[in-house]
């Protein structure tokens, strides 16, 4: 073998290194070493998130000489990106540049991970305020020779007198500050008292009068982390901030992070450090935005899925990686900020709600508290008895179904397709992503909307308006709409096959390997919906739907009355298209609503009102868990749910407002199912396109 057939590549700042055959794209080299380089456009040279720079010089530590000349020359793709978006002189696109010799490569943080939209905002739901910590201002008796009592003891006397409470103590680290604070306030001070049952503790002390205290509600997702700073007096959210979870460096999804831990001895510490570091940055941001000192934050609530929960608490989550998915701790956890190294008041109390099961977390518990079955507007008795489905769609969908007091939950492995991964033109929801799609059923021509541009693609001025963000890919809500519209327009059969016979009719349908693809946008690089993309979405939606069906069987119901879509994806997906592709069961469309970041809302409820803590603990105790992997019926439901919208289930409510195409022959001429059943059950009308495609020319086309 030629001695120059491979080269050593070292990535900074992680220091990960490996040898790669000459010609390997740098992005692939980074991936194979587990170095996180973002690539939202899937390596098409459109998003620019994969930028890297080469460090030049002799690196004795690595025994190599690194030079930009050890990369393939600047490509046409990179030149185009530089022309359109600007690329600093020292940067290369790692999806385009290939290894031609030894390299030390720097992965700059200014372009990575933080550009994705963090769509986890605090919802405006009013919450009755009754937090665990409150403020009391007292005047403390000055010391005297006659009564030799400690300053802290006289502080407690004053507080007990003012509050009429027993069992009051001062948190140990505060003792060292009592004397200074009393004198700074000329014996008038304000204390923050935290109450848990019959135990009361002073956890904060300030000289003079003080009127406001703050708490933090944090939702730690595997992809994004969102923090809300709340005024513990008014309950108002005074600042919010979000960021990508830096743990993505160690693995995009939860299971790859668990694998990383299994293979690297000090990985738990690294992952814990990463998530706590990101939380620290968010704390700084929200405190600065609200103009408060970090020590005014005296309470914090954290929710997350079981793996995020364990890692945040510094617990090894590997037991959660396989059956029986044993949790290190499932009950609620109470700690102080100093236990977790959080840069807020060191005596601040941290509360982590209980986990539901090995892969249904405190985030699902919080979402259920906020929006789950039984949580209805006061006085709405009918709604309390409604069969309510709450779905939080991420890489793992959390599904909660219930009626009245009975609540059942499971999680289903939907995979990352709804987040744009595994989709040929997929990307995360970020500026430049197609998020809305309409297809004219007569001409098969599409129009779309892009995040960061208010105009539809067929509106005047679109080209200029979109120039700032570009058209870089299709995000989760965009791919769901594209597939829904392709089905409604007759481009997709019930089985999800792209109908190749339409090639002759529209240049939007093109051969692609041994199947066909739909060209959604013909630009510098075509954005297509391929047969593989349709399959990826079918698999993901079938997994979700099968989980929902298991819960419906367990609850002994045939239909659901209300559907609540939680999470970032749930907030942006159009319920109509979610139903058209059979992601969710039939239900009156007006009863399907997005509830935003329900986990974050639940976290704020628990932060702002101590009775919600008892409530969430009771709720988690009552939730019946269904383990999808152990249910024999899952497979059958899954197979039926691969069809659009479903092979066996009917969608009468949807059909009443959306003309679904009739089942018809596939591109290969096979029948796609019970042609009359849908019409029998739903009485739905035939669509224009459906009518056209059912013409005798079907045979001729074969």
Task: With CA atoms as reference, report the closest residue to 481 among 537, 542, 547, 398.
Answer: 537
Q: CA torsion, points 203, 204, 209, 211, in degrees to nearest 10? A: -80
CB 7 within 8 A of CB 22: yes
What are the Cα distances from residue 451, in Å, to 91, 430, 466? Answer: 26, 7, 9
Give the DSSP letter of residue 147: S
Give the nearer residue to ligand FES in terms of CB position, either 96 or 190.
Answer: 96
Q: What are the phi and psi torsion angles at 292 (to 5°)?
A: -120, 165
CB of residue 113 to ligand FES, shortest distance in Å: 13
CB of residue 521 to ligand FES, shortest distance in Å: 16
CB of residue 445 to ligand FES, shortest distance in Å: 27
What are the Cα distances from residue 541, in Å, to 30, 206, 418, 550? Answer: 31, 54, 9, 14
Give the nearer residue to ligand FES in terms of CB position, either 43 or 588.
Answer: 43
CB of residue 524 to ligand FES, shortest distance in Å: 12
Give the nearer residue to ligand FES in terms of CB position, either 51 or 530.
Answer: 51
CB of residue 48 to ligand FES, shortest distance in Å: 5
Q: Estimate the share of the chain in helix, then strand, then coil, as percent rounded to the nearest 5.
A: 35, 25, 40
Give the nearer residue to ligand FES in terms of CB position, either 237 or 427.
Answer: 427
- Interface stretch with ligand FES, choices 45-53, 216-224, 225-233, 295-303 (CB under 6 A): 45-53
Q: In whole angstroms, what is the distance from residue 366 CA to residue 108 CA?
A: 36
3-class DSSP assignment, residue 700: helix
CB of residue 44 to ligand FES, shortest distance in Å: 6
Give the nearer residue to ligand FES in terms of CB position, either 363 or 533.
Answer: 533
Work out which of 41, 116, 189, 451 binds ligand FES, going by CB under 6 A. Answer: 41
CB of residue 456 to ligand FES, shortest distance in Å: 25
Work out which of 10, 35, 50, 87 binds ligand FES, going by CB under 6 A. Answer: 50
Give the nearer residue to ligand FES in terms of CB position, either 45 or 402.
Answer: 45
Give the nearer residue to ligand FES in terms of CB position, either 511 or 523.
Answer: 523
CB 372 within 8 A of CB 403: no
CB 79 within 8 A of CB 92: no
- Interface stretch with ligand FES, choices 36-44, 52-60, 343-351, 456-464 (CB under 6 A): 36-44
CB 247 within 8 A of CB 257: yes
- Interface stretch with ligand FES, choices 41-49, 250-258, 291-299, 550-558 (CB under 6 A): 41-49
Q: CA torsion, points 436, 440, 446, 448, in degrees to nearest 10? A: -30
CB of residue 250 to ligand FES, shortest distance in Å: 20
What are the Cα distances from residue 366, in Å, to 153, 182, 238, 305, 567? Answer: 39, 40, 21, 11, 12
CB of residue 421 to ligand FES, shortest distance in Å: 13
CB of residue 93 to ligand FES, shortest distance in Å: 5
CB of residue 97 to ligand FES, shortest distance in Å: 9
43 is an interface residue for ligand FES by CB under 6 A:
yes
Quick one: 283 exposed, middle or buried, by C-beta within 10 A (0-12, 13-18, 19+)? Answer: buried
Restricting to residues 83-122, name those near ligand FES by CB under 6 A.
93, 95
- From residue 191 to residue 230, the character string flagging contacts with ligand FES as x (rule: CB under 6 A) and all else as - is ----------------------------------------
CB of residue 192 to ligand FES, shortest distance in Å: 48
Tokens 């939907």 belong to residue: 414
Give the helix/strand (H/E) hosting 189: strand 188-196
Give the nearer residue to ligand FES in terms of CB position, either 192 or 520.
Answer: 520
Give the nearer residue to ligand FES in terms of CB position, either 25 or 600.
Answer: 25
Work out which of 45, 432, 478, 570 binds ligand FES, going by CB under 6 A. Answer: 45
Strand order through the sheet with 199-207: 133-139, 188-196, 199-207, 168-170
- Interface stretch with ligand FES, choices 35-43, 273-281, 439-447, 670-678 (CB under 6 A): 35-43
Give the nearer residue to ligand FES in terms of CB position, either 45 or 251.
Answer: 45
CB 598 within 8 A of CB 423: no
Tokens 């079918």 belong to residue: 538
Give the nearer residue to ligand FES in terms of CB position, either 246 or 432.
Answer: 432
46 is an interface residue for ligand FES by CB under 6 A:
yes
What are the Cα distances from residue 93, in Å, to 44, 45, 193, 205? Answer: 10, 7, 54, 53
Q: Determine the distance from the C-alpha atom of residue 281 to the mean position of all C-alpha atoms in its chain, rounded to a whole number.
A: 19
| Strand 592-596 to 562-566 pairing | parallel
CB 313 within 8 A of CB 342: no
CB of residue 39 to ligand FES, shortest distance in Å: 3
- Interface stretch with ligand FES, choices 37-45, 140-148, 177-185, 554-562 (CB under 6 A): 37-45
CA-angle at 403, arms to 398 and 407, nearest 5°: 45
CB of residue 88 to ligand FES, shortest distance in Å: 14
612 is an interface residue for ligand FES by CB under 6 A:
no
Give the nearer residue to ligand FES in terms of CB position, either 49 or 684.
Answer: 49
Give the nearer residue to ligand FES in terms of CB position, either 93 or 279.
Answer: 93
Give the nearer residue to ligand FES in terms of CB position, either 50 or 118.
Answer: 50
Give the nearer residue to ligand FES in terms of CB position, either 473 or 585.
Answer: 473
Write a three-state SS string for 12-80: ECCCEEEEEECCCEHHHHHHHCCCCCCCCCCCCCCCCCCEEEEECEEECCCCEEECHHHECCCCHHHHH
Q: How many residues sit in the footprint of ligand FES (CB under 6 A)? A: 11
Work out which of 49, 257, 310, 637 binds ligand FES, going by CB under 6 A. Answer: 49
- Interface stretch with ligand FES, choices 40-48, 157-165, 394-402, 610-618 (CB under 6 A): 40-48
- Interface stretch with ligand FES, choices 42-50, 123-131, 233-241, 664-672 (CB under 6 A): 42-50
CB 430 within 8 A of CB 117: yes
- Interface stretch with ligand FES, choices 46-54, 56-64, 139-147, 272-280 (CB under 6 A): 46-54
Residue 162's contacts (CB-CB under 8 Å, 6 or more residues apart) are 136, 138
The beta strands (E) that lie in 469-533 are given as: 473-474, 509-512, 515-521, 527-530
Task: With CA atoms as reference, report the closest residue to 547 among 372, 402, 414, 395.
Answer: 414
The total of other beta-carbon atoms located within 10 Å of residue 146's CB is 5
48 is an interface residue for ligand FES by CB under 6 A:
yes
Under the rule (CB under 6 A), what is the footprint of ligand FES? 39, 41, 43, 45-50, 93, 95
């Amino acid at each position: 073998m030629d001695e120059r057939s491979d080269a050593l590549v070292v990535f900074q700042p992680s220091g990960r290194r490996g040898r790669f055959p000459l010609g390997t794209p740098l992005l692939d080299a980074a991936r194979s070493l587990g170095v996180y380089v973002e690539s939202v456009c899937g390596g098409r040279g459109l998003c620019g998130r994969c930028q890297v720079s080469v460090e030049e010089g002799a690196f004795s530590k690595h025994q190599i000489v690194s030079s930009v000349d050890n990369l393939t020359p600047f490509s046409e793709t990179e030149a185009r990106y530089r022309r359109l978006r600007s690329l600093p002189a020292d940067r290369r696109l790692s999806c385009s540049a290939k290894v031609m010799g030894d390299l030390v490569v720097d992965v700059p943080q200014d372009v990575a991970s933080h550009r994705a939209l963090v769509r986890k905002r605090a919802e405006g739901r009013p919450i009755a305020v009754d937090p665990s910590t409150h403020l009391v201002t007292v005047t403390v008796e000055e010391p005297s020779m006659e009564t030799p009592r400690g300053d802290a003891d006289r502080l407690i006397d004053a507080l007990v007198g003012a509050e009429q409470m027993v069992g009051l103590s001062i948190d140990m680290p505060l003792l060292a500050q009592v004397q200074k604070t009393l004198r700074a306030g000329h014996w008038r001070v304000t204390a923050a008292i935290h109450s848990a049952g019959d135990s009361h503790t002073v956890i904060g002390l300030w000289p003079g009068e003080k009127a406001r205290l703050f708490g933090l509600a944090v939702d730690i997702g595997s992809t994004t982390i969102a923090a809300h700073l709340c005024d513990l007096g008014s309950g108002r959210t005074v600042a919010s901030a979000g960021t990508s979870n830096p743990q993505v460096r160690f693995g995009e999804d939860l299971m790859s992070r668990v694998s990383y831990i299994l293979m690297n001895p000090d990985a738990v510490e690294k992952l814990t450090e990463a998530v706590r570091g990101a939380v620290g940055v968010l704390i700084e941001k929200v405190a600065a935005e609200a103009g408060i000192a970090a020590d005014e934050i005296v309470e914090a609530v954290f929710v997350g899925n079981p793996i995020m929960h364990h890692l945040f608490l510094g617990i090894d989550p590997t037991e959660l990686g396989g059956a029986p998915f044993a949790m290190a701790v499932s009950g609620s956890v109470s700690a102080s900020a100093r236990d977790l190294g959080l840069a807020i008041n060191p005596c601040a109390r941290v509360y982590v709600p209980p986990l539901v099961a090995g892969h249904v977390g405190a985030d699902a518990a919080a979402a259920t508290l906020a929006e789950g079955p039984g949580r209805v507007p006061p006085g709405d008795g009918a709604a309390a008895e409604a069969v309510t489905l709450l779905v939080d769609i991420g890489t793992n969908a959390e599904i909660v179904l219930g009626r009245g007091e009975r609540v059942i939950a499971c999680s289903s492995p939907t995979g990352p397709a709804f987040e744009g991964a595994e989709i040929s033109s997929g990307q995360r929801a970020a500026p430049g992503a197609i998020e809305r799609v309409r297809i004219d059923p007569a001409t098969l021509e599409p129009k779309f909307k892009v995040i960061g541009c208010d105009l539809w693609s067929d509106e005047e001025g679109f080209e200029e308006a979109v120039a700032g963000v570009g058209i870089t890919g299709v995000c989760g809500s965009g791919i769901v709409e594209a597939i829904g519209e392709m089905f409604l327009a007759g481009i997709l059969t019930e089985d999800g096959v792209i109908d190749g016979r339409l090639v002759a009719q529209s240049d939007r349908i093109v051969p692609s390997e041994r199947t066909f693809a739909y060209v959604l946008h013909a630009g510098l690089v075509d954005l297509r919906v391929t047969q593989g993309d349709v399959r990826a979405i079918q698999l993901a939606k079938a997994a979700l739907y099968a989980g929902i069906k298991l819960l419906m069987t367990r609850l002994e119901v045939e239909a659901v009355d209300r559907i609540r879509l939680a999470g970032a994806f749930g907030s942006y997906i159009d319920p109509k298209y979610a139903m058209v592709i059979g992601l969710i069961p039939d239900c009156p469309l007006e009863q399907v609503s997005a509830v935003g970041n329900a986990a974050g809302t639940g976290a704020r409820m628990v932060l702002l009102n101590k009775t919600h803590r008892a409530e969430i603990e009771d709720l988690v105790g009552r939730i019946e868990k269904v383990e999808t992997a152990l249910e024999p019926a899952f497979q059958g439901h899954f197979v039926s749910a691969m069809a659009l919208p479903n092979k066996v289930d009917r969608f009468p409510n949807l059909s009443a407002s959306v003309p679904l195409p009739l089942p018809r022959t596939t591109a290969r001429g096979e029948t796609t199912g019970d042609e009359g059943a849908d019409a029998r059950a739903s009485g739905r009308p035939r669509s224009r396109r459906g009518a056209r495609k059912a013409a005798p020319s079907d045979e001729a086309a074969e």
